[in-house]
Amino acid sequence: MKVRETKYGNYKEILKYPDHHVGIAVMVSDTGVTANADGKKIVPAGTLVGGLSAGKVTKVNGSGTEGVLLSDTDVTYGDAPATMIVHGFIDKSKIPEQPSSSASTALNMIQFL
Protein backbone atom coordinates (compact mmCIF):
# COMPACT_ATOMS: atom_id res chain seq x y z
CA MET A 1 0.00 0.00 0.00
CA LYS A 2 1.27 3.45 -0.94
CA VAL A 3 0.68 6.41 1.40
CA ARG A 4 0.92 10.03 0.27
CA GLU A 5 1.26 12.92 2.69
CA THR A 6 -0.10 16.26 1.54
CA LYS A 7 0.55 19.57 3.25
CA TYR A 8 -2.02 22.25 2.57
CA GLY A 9 -1.16 25.93 2.58
CA ASN A 10 -3.25 29.04 2.30
CA TYR A 11 -6.16 29.07 -0.13
CA LYS A 12 -5.78 31.63 -2.95
CA GLU A 13 -9.11 33.39 -3.63
CA ILE A 14 -9.35 34.34 -7.33
CA LEU A 15 -13.03 35.32 -7.25
CA LYS A 16 -13.81 39.03 -6.97
CA TYR A 17 -17.29 38.26 -5.57
CA PRO A 18 -17.14 34.77 -3.99
CA ASP A 19 -20.90 34.58 -3.49
CA HIS A 20 -21.68 34.85 -7.21
CA HIS A 21 -20.16 32.14 -9.41
CA VAL A 22 -20.94 28.87 -11.16
CA GLY A 23 -18.43 26.05 -11.31
CA ILE A 24 -18.45 22.58 -12.80
CA ALA A 25 -16.45 19.48 -11.92
CA VAL A 26 -13.63 18.65 -14.34
CA MET A 27 -10.57 16.43 -14.59
CA VAL A 28 -7.31 18.35 -15.04
CA SER A 29 -4.78 16.65 -17.30
CA ASP A 30 -1.18 16.26 -16.17
CA THR A 31 0.02 16.50 -19.78
CA GLY A 32 2.53 19.30 -20.30
CA VAL A 33 2.74 20.30 -16.62
CA THR A 34 6.31 20.60 -15.39
CA ALA A 35 7.35 19.81 -11.84
CA ASN A 36 8.41 22.60 -9.48
CA ALA A 37 11.52 22.59 -7.25
CA ASP A 38 9.77 20.23 -4.81
CA GLY A 39 8.94 17.74 -7.57
CA LYS A 40 5.22 18.63 -7.51
CA LYS A 41 3.16 19.29 -10.64
CA ILE A 42 0.76 22.06 -9.63
CA VAL A 43 -1.67 23.77 -12.00
CA PRO A 44 -2.28 27.12 -10.27
CA ALA A 45 -5.64 28.66 -9.41
CA GLY A 46 -6.76 31.06 -12.11
CA THR A 47 -5.31 29.05 -14.99
CA LEU A 48 -7.39 29.39 -18.14
CA VAL A 49 -8.43 25.93 -19.30
CA GLY A 50 -10.30 24.21 -22.11
CA GLY A 51 -10.79 20.85 -23.77
CA LEU A 52 -13.72 19.63 -21.71
CA SER A 53 -15.23 17.86 -24.73
CA ALA A 54 -12.12 15.63 -24.80
CA GLY A 55 -12.79 14.58 -21.21
CA LYS A 56 -9.94 16.47 -19.53
CA VAL A 57 -9.06 20.14 -19.39
CA THR A 58 -5.62 21.57 -20.11
CA LYS A 59 -4.13 25.05 -20.10
CA VAL A 60 -5.56 27.14 -22.96
CA ASN A 61 -5.43 30.90 -23.52
CA GLY A 62 -7.32 31.48 -26.75
CA SER A 63 -10.56 30.75 -28.54
CA GLY A 64 -10.75 27.24 -27.01
CA THR A 65 -10.82 28.55 -23.45
CA GLU A 66 -13.85 27.26 -21.54
CA GLY A 67 -13.25 28.32 -17.95
CA VAL A 68 -10.91 29.21 -15.10
CA LEU A 69 -9.59 26.82 -12.43
CA LEU A 70 -10.93 27.76 -9.01
CA SER A 71 -8.04 26.39 -6.94
CA ASP A 72 -4.52 24.99 -7.21
CA THR A 73 -4.66 21.44 -8.56
CA ASP A 74 -1.94 18.85 -7.87
CA VAL A 75 -1.43 16.57 -10.88
CA THR A 76 1.85 15.05 -9.63
CA TYR A 77 0.39 11.54 -9.59
CA GLY A 78 -1.77 11.90 -12.71
CA ASP A 79 -4.98 13.61 -13.73
CA ALA A 80 -6.87 15.19 -10.81
CA PRO A 81 -10.40 16.48 -10.14
CA ALA A 82 -10.99 20.22 -9.84
CA THR A 83 -13.61 22.93 -10.26
CA MET A 84 -13.75 25.08 -13.39
CA ILE A 85 -15.52 28.44 -13.12
CA VAL A 86 -17.81 29.07 -16.11
CA HIS A 87 -19.69 32.11 -14.77
CA GLY A 88 -18.61 34.80 -12.33
CA PHE A 89 -16.23 37.63 -11.56
CA ILE A 90 -12.47 36.90 -11.51
CA ASP A 91 -9.84 39.17 -9.92
CA LYS A 92 -7.32 39.79 -12.75
CA SER A 93 -4.54 40.58 -10.28
CA LYS A 94 -4.68 37.05 -8.83
CA ILE A 95 -4.44 34.88 -11.94
CA PRO A 96 -1.11 33.62 -13.32
CA GLU A 97 -1.67 34.76 -16.92
CA GLN A 98 -3.90 37.50 -18.30
CA PRO A 99 -6.54 36.30 -20.79
CA SER A 100 -5.96 37.00 -24.47
CA SER A 101 -8.66 38.92 -26.32
CA SER A 102 -9.92 35.69 -27.91
CA ALA A 103 -10.04 33.98 -24.49
CA SER A 104 -12.03 36.89 -23.04
CA THR A 105 -14.46 36.61 -25.95
CA ALA A 106 -14.81 32.84 -25.46
CA LEU A 107 -15.49 33.33 -21.73
CA ASN A 108 -18.54 35.51 -22.31
CA MET A 109 -20.06 34.72 -18.89
CA ILE A 110 -16.89 35.56 -16.94
CA GLN A 111 -15.87 39.12 -16.18
CA PHE A 112 -12.22 39.87 -15.36
CA LEU A 113 -12.03 42.82 -12.97
CB 86 within 8 A of CB 101: no
How long is the chain?
113
Query: Exposure string (b/e) for 14-28, b if CB count within 10 Å is 16 or more?
Result: bbbeeeebebeebbb
Superfamily covering domain 21-112: Head decoration protein D (2.40.300.10)
* pLDDT tens, the chain, 113 aa long: 666 666 656 678 999 988 899 999 999 999 999 999 999 999 999 999 999 988 899 999 999 999 999 999 999 999 999 999 999 999 999 999 999 999 999 999 999 99
Distance, CA of 113 to CA of 93 (rounded, Å)? 8
Cα 72–75–79 angle (5° rounding)? Answer: 120
